[in-house]
Amino acid sequence: MALNKLALIRYKTIDDCLRNKVRKWTLDDLIDKVSEVLYEREGIENGVSKRTIQNDIQIMRSDKLGYNAPIEVSDRKYYYYAQPDYSITHAPITDSEVEKLKEVIGLLKQFNGFSYLEDISELIARLENNLHKTTHKQQNYIQFEGNDSVKGLQFITPLYQYIQQKKPVRITYQSFKAKEAHLANYHPYLLKEFRNRWFLICASQKGDQLLNLALDRIKEVQPAAALVFHPYEGVDFDIYYRDLIGVTKSKADRAHKVIFTVDAANAPYLVTKPLHASQQILKKEPQQTTFRIDVVLNFELEKDLLAMGEAVQVITPKSLATRIQKRLKAALDHYPLTPDGPLKPFNS
């Protein structure tokens, strides 16, 4: 069955809606959402008909595209997936789609090696490997770091488009500390990845301070069509984040000279995989190597230093050394001095 771009957009939008458990979706809701997305992405102003969406749902339910989507209706009006974790994005690709992907990969290979596409090698390897796993039930030849359970990846494409089109968004968000999700308006500026987690760098409608929203805590993303976009007027983000490990930084934060030593057994690992692009060796001795990095003092930096445990010692700044010392003492406090002693509870 031949597919066109608009049909794929409709299927994906319906899929995103039915995966969203925050609200219930009537047929009219689905029509409105699909019409909204078609306008936002393709400039189509006349929306979509009821018959088209009904037909789309029937196709998604069927085996015509290999979806076999478990779409059911409750109370005679609310559409939902009977399998909570289902998504059409998990469905196997067809033979024609495999051939098209092979053509795309072949085209990318022709450009591999050009300086303006110097990061494309990993992308090609990922595409080839994923395509191979889909079409061949054989041994995997390459493994990439990743987490299949990471949530929120479905928001990358729409958020990227809103950023590119300079459009405000309404986001339903629930932080780890919040008991309930809340809805607010944001001006999106940048998508940033750190350690297999994605973050949206943005500003709220009520302020100009930069915020970072974890995509795995986002429940829903909608366009805020009635609002005027407030562009970011600060320093270029490539420069803004140059002195940072992770994503945690305020406009007032500045890089500090961080000097630390690493024992001889672990120093070679840090030489081959630096903590930060600014890393340099100040002194190499038989028992240890002294490094320097120039970075903002934040939670992610502390995590990286703590991850090296007894192999590292922070020399300067003293505030960072003291902070690391306190956290190590607090961690040690949770373990008994004798093997048979009870562990100390966190709330004690």
The CA distance from 2 to 164, in Å, is 30
- Kindly report, residue by residue over 91-131, the tens digit of the pLDDT: 666 666 667 777 777 776 666 555 555 566 666 666 666 66
What percent of the chain has pLDDT above 90? 53
- For residue range 78-87, list pLDDT tens digits in order: 999 999 889 8
Per-residue pLDDT, 2 = 44
3 state SS of 68: coil
Q: State mean pLDDT over 24-42.
A: 91
List C-alpha distances in Å: 134 to 86, 101, 127, 214: 18, 12, 11, 29
Q: Pick from 245, 234, 344: which is nearest to 303 by CA?
A: 245
Whether residue 173 has pLDDT greater than 80 = yes
Top-confidence residue, 182 or 149:
182
Residue-level pLDDT at 176: 86
The reported pLDDT for the residue numbered 111 is: 60
Residues in the chain: 348
Q: How would residue 66 be classed by pLDDT, with cut points 50, 70 and 90?
A: confident
Average pLDDT score, the chain: 86
Residue 169 has pLDDT above 70, yes or no: yes
